[in-house]
Amino acid sequence: MAERILSGTHWGPFYPEVTDGKLSGVTPFDLDPNPSPILNSLPDMADHPCRILRPAVRQGYLQANGEEYHRRRGSEPFVEVSWEHALDLVANALKRTRDESGNQAIYGGSYGWASAGKLHSANALLHRFLSGIGGFTGSIGTYSLAAGEAILPHILGNGGKNSAWETLVGTTQLHVSFGGMPLKNAQITHGGMTRRSTRDWLLKMKNSGCQFVNISPVKDDLMHELGAQWVPIRPNTDVALMLGMAHTMVRQNLHAANFLSQYCHGFDEFLPYLLGEVDGQPKDIDWAESITNVPADTIQQLARQLVTERSFLNAAWSIQRADHGEQPYWMMMVLACMAGHIGKPGGGFGYGYGSMGGVGEIGAAVRGPMLSAPTNPVEQAIPVSRIADMLLNPGSSYQFNGSNETYPNIDLIYWAGGNPFHHHQDINRLIEAWNRPKTVVVNESFWTSTARHADIVLPVATTLERNDIGWCFADQGAYTMPKIIDAPADVRLEWDVFADLAERMGDRDQWDQGLTSDQWLEQLYEQSREKAAAKGNDLPDFNTFWQQGYLPLPPLEGANPAYSEFIEDPEDNPLPTPSGKFQIFSDTIHGFDYEDCPGHPIWLEPAEWLGNAQPQQLHLISNQPATRLHSQLDFGRTSIESKIADREPLRMHPDDAAAHGLNDGDVARLFNDRGECLAGVMISDDLMPGVVQLATGAWYDPQQPGQPGSLDVHGNPNMLTLDKGTSRLAQGPISQTTLIEIEKWTGPVPPITVFEPPAMAASED
């Protein structure tokens, strides 16, 4: 072992301190300039009371007494059973489902972030296991970026390219970001980056003369040291603002006409809409002001600056997590084309800077290890956030990105590494849907809401209790993730759980090929090492790496502005789009004939927004939490210390607080037709009036567990959000499209109970 053991998480690497077999503290990684405060919560991970200690089965499932036994999930006590018993139950349910209904009746989409590490990646292990036993209905896309993932390939030919930070420093004069670039989000990178560098890049840009503009309902979405111009905007109206800017450019003849004709397809089809020749409504600055609440003068100023200065446009992922979220992503590309700086140093556009730490980083020339898996024999997969639609409407049809599909009938859900009772919109609707299948199996380390709504719960070791490798896609360094402490006695490695299940399903040989998980880890590393050597990069052998702890990796070569090759030589380096150019008009999308996503970007009214709100309604933004990763470590000290009256903080403008008779520290009830929750009031000038902010991830803590419509006493915004797809193109989640009402909670304040284990009935084994 190295002198100091190094391990890591999605929010960065750390050196553990172990006292008497317990994780007593952590020190951040030496090379990380801005370590995440979420690291401080790690000591709470190992032995918190909400740890699942033994396999557990819902009492009604165990007794199976009555046809409707699956309709009481979340409301009954659990019974602890032996591993043998629990694994037999899972294997029998899988076999029964397979025999009676076929493999497509198993839902294994199992979305979620799980933990960092290349081997023990829960969702990947589940998919590998289920593929080996005949397959499963899977999921397509993410809750993060579903609308972007669907629209960008049509208009850019792939997921889009981002310029490296290096190319923006000293070159970008004006940086305009929709949704800001909040450092709270840049703490995190999927897979766990070694360094949190976004803050430093932003300061370098500022110090070399860049002016920043933060277009967001929330002022501190851009750090105050940047002295940014804050342009408060009504949520979900960014596309109208962009159209107003585009209209100004055309009217004042500022737009880059040569760029549009040389590098873009379909500006002529878009122009009549922009000018109002199609619908009688020019998308001018007064029209844009009436929708966005951004003053017409500001829109005009920004439009001029975008053209006259070397400008860069960025959109946070949040702005597409909204009704018709495809449109602002599409329109921002059009606006950047009209400004004409794409491909030049410091100019152009990108998506997701500040949404996650790795965006804008160059990454390494050597790729990380990957566990191979058999292809899933079941081809069907649903757009990930349509899960409740699928469970509620088996056999019904839906449209998705040009195809017509039918929802399968699901008998069994198996989840590992995610928390849908945190992440899905409209939890009350999810409860109804979740009660439909006959069996729900969940692998977890903690009694999350999802574990509480399972039939069979299998307790698995945490990242602290197993050997793994941290190797993040955007990073120039890899690190070891050695086992730091022992798992509780009856808690097992997820790898071994699947090995024993594979044994019961007759698939053991394929699962582990006779090797232990530690042997697999070494083998995976050595495979990466061989691939690196073939490209002329020498990596140390596994044992040396394991001794070293940290492994610097060679950077990818070249940091050119995105699309510079295309701009320099469009004939030889066309974009991989149908036209070979930026698609301002998409004949493909036009051919789908979707009213909610036609052939060029347009303004479409969201289902809920301040423009159609009642006077007492407020727009709820449920952003990513600063003090944890989603729902992970909500019980950890960093998250707990941030709570107000034990509840998730609700930020609101002083005028809105006064109008509702609320003061700092009060408990408020948030409600709409879909549900209700409590939250702790925090008054802030950083919010625009009419908009309130409640981060995601507070564990759902219902007053009557298992009952749809119950009050959540803790502050899960998904009690209130709307469960609808962005459009037929992406079918993405729209959590940022939510109106609510609010009132002071004057009754006794209910205690938070969700961090205690659920009720247990006497064990039978």
Ligand X SMILES: Nc1nc2c(c(=O)[nH]1)N[C@H]1C(S)=C(S)[C@@H](COP(=O)(O)OP(=O)(O)OC[C@H]3O[C@@H](n4cnc5c(=O)[nH]c(N)nc54)[C@H](O)[C@@H]3O)O[C@H]1N2
Binding site for Mo ion (CB under 5 A): 144
Q: With CB cut-offs between 5 and 8 Å by kind, which of ligand X, Mo ion, none does residue 184 bind?
A: ligand X
| Distance (Å, whole) CA 538 – CA 256 | 47
- Contact between 163 and ligand X per CB under 6 A: no
When asked if residue 143 is in the footprint of ligand X (CB under 6 A), the reply is yes
Nearer CB in complex with ligand X: 414/592: 414
Angle between helix axes 494-504 and 517-534 (nearest 10 degrees) is 110
Q: Is 418 in the site for ligand X (CB under 6 A)?
A: yes
647 binds, among ligand X, Mo ion, none (CB under 5 to 8 A by kind): none
Beta carbons within 10 angstroms of residue 49's beta carbon: 11
Crossing angle of helices 122-132 and 494-504, rounded to 10°: 10
- Cβ–Cβ under 8 Å, residues 638 and 41: yes
Binding residue (CB under 6 A) for ligand X from 41, 139, 144, 401: 144
Report the residue number, 89 or 730, with the smaller CB distance to Mo ion. 730
To ligand X, the closest distance from the beta carbon of 421 in angstroms equals 9
Least Cβ distance, residue 675 to ligand X (angstroms): 12
Q: Is 626 in the site for ligand X (CB under 6 A)?
A: yes
Indicate whether 91 belongs to the interface with ligand X (CB under 6 A).
Answer: no
Do 346 and 173 touch, CB atoms closer than 8 A?
Answer: yes
Instruction: Confirm or reject binding of residue 236 to ligand X (CB under 6 A).
Output: yes
- Contact between 215 and ligand X per CB under 6 A: yes
Dihedral sign of CA atoms 182, 188, 193, 194 in order: positive
122 binds, among Mo ion, ligand X, none (CB under 5 to 8 A by kind): ligand X
Pick one of 76, 444, 522, 648: the residue that binds ligand X (CB under 6 A).
444
Of all residues in this chain, which one has the CB nearest to Mo ion in the complex? 144
Of 200, 196, 32, residue with least CA distance to 15: 32
Q: Is residue 417 a contact residue for ligand X (CB under 6 A)?
A: yes
649 binds ligand X (CB under 6 A): no
453 binds ligand X, rule: CB under 6 A: no
Select 291 or 315, whichever has its Cβ closest to Mo ion: 315
Token pair, residue 523, equals 């083998």
| Partner from ligand X, Mo ion, none binding residue 114, C-beta < 5-8 Å depending on class | ligand X
> Residue-wise over 643-682: b if at least 16 C-beta within 10 A, else e?
bbbbbbbbbbbeebbeebebeeebbbbbbbebbbbbbbbb
Pick what 40 binds: Mo ion, ligand X, none; C-beta below 5 to 8 Å, kind-dependent. Answer: none
Nearer to ligand X, 163 or 586 (CB): 163
Separation between Cα atoms, residue 505 and residue 512, nearest integer Å: 14
Region for residue 260 given its phi and psi (left: phi exceeds 0; alpha: psi -120 to 50; beta: otherwise)? alpha
Instruction: Give yes or no for residue 636 binding ligand X (CB under 6 A).
Output: no
Helix orientation angle between 296-308 and 285-292, rounded to the nearest 10 degrees = 120
Give the active site residues: 111, 113
Cα–Cα distance between 53 and 492 in angstroms, integer?
Answer: 10
Size of the residue set binding ligand X (CB under 6 A): 62
Q: Is 456 in the site for ligand X (CB under 6 A)?
A: no
Stretch that binds ligand X, among 20-28, 337-345, 417-425, 635-643 (CB under 6 A): 417-425
Tell me whether strands 174-178 and 211-215 are parallel, antiparallel or unpaired.
Answer: parallel
Stretch that binds ligand X, among 394-402, 670-678, 714-722, 749-757 (CB under 6 A): 714-722
Q: Is 416 in the site for ligand X (CB under 6 A)?
A: yes
Q: Quick check: helix, strand or coil at residue 402?
A: coil
For residues 222, 227, 228, 230, the Cα torsion angle rounded to the nearest 10 degrees is: 90
DSSP 314-377: EE-GGGGSSTTTHHHHHHHHHHHHHHT-TTSTT-EEEE-BTTBTTTT---BSSPPP----PPPS
CB of 115 to ligand X, least distance (A): 4
The vertex-175 CA angle with 174 and 176, nearest 5°, equals 115
What is the number of residues in the chain? 765
Give the nearest distance from C-beta 143 to Mo ion in angstroms: 5
735 binds ligand X (CB under 6 A): yes
Judged by CB, which is closer to ligand X: 517, or 583?
517
Question: Which 3-state string (H, E, C) describes 525-570?
Answer: HHHHHHHHHHCCCCCCCHHHHHHHCEEECCECCCCCCCCHHHHHCC
The alpha carbon of 584 is separated from its chain's Cα centroid by a whole number of angstroms, namely 27
Scanning residues 360 to 379, which ones bind ligand X (CB under 6 A)? none
Q: Which of 61, 69, 113, 287 binds ligand X (CB under 6 A)?
A: 113
386 lines the binding site for ligand X (CB under 6 A): no
Q: Does 700 bind ligand X (CB under 6 A)?
A: no
Per CB under 6 A, residues contacting ligand X are 112-115, 120, 122, 143-144, 178-180, 182, 184-185, 187-188, 215-218, 221, 233, 235-236, 238, 316-319, 321-322, 355-356, 416-419, 422-423, 443-446, 448, 460, 494, 621-626, 629-632, 696, 717-718, 721, 735-736
